[in-house]
Amino acid sequence: MLTSIRVFSEGPPDSFGLTPLGETLRTAAPDSVRNFTVTETAPGHWLPWGKLLKSVRSGQPMAREALGMELFEWYAQDPEEAGFFNAAMGNFSALAASELVRVYNFSTVQTVMDVGGAHGVLLAAVLHANPNARGILFDLPHVIAPAGDAIAAEGRSKRVELVSGDFFEEVPPGADLHLLKQIVHDWDDERVTRLLAACHRALNPAGTVLS
């Protein structure tokens, strides 16, 4: 089946190899989607997708009905599945980072905050391209707890402050720029309004939200 959709190639006698598409499922591939594939087929995403028809008909998200709780509450109780999700977000950040630092001028930014930034892959790229800037990595407590090792591995511990909390309630002050990558689309209008209001309160004067 996977050969039919070109994930594998098949040769005689009954041997298989990776195609360019299949290569993206390797952990070490530069454009790896392995963690995302694991995330999408794990219960946190898979079970709500099973209620897609009901979601379309009702206009309501199905995570709570399928899981008994919101998705990020689920991840807080399942570190292994949360690890794959956070790694997947890091993979996506790595793909976006080089283009972001190419097209956006960070030269006047002194402090940049990655809001919901997982393990700080995007923030690390921004700081690498802007050696005079410092960063704040902000996410839920169970996400921030292991993020220090990832930041240390990048050699940026002295330039990055790790802060945990709930961005619907309060965002740490002190940044000139807030990065919200793949954040806003997760929430309904009411919660997005609360999130953006929290960013507005926390930003330095004339600060910017980049989403």
- Residue whose tokens read 């570190």: 79
Amino acid at 44: G
What token pair was written down for 111? 């402090």
Report the DSSP beta bridge partners of residue 15.
11
Measure Cα distances from 196 to 24, 65, 179, 180, 203 in Å: 35, 27, 11, 10, 10
177: which strand partners? 112, 208
**Catalytic annotation on 200?**
no
Nearest Cα to Cα of residue 43 among 31, 51, 53: 51
Nearest to 94 by CA among 149, 142, 34, 148: 34
**Active-site position among 45, 128, 178, 185:** 185
Residues 67, 71: Cα–Cα separation, whole Å: 8
To which residue do tokens 């690498």 refer? 128
What are the catalytic residues? Answer: 185
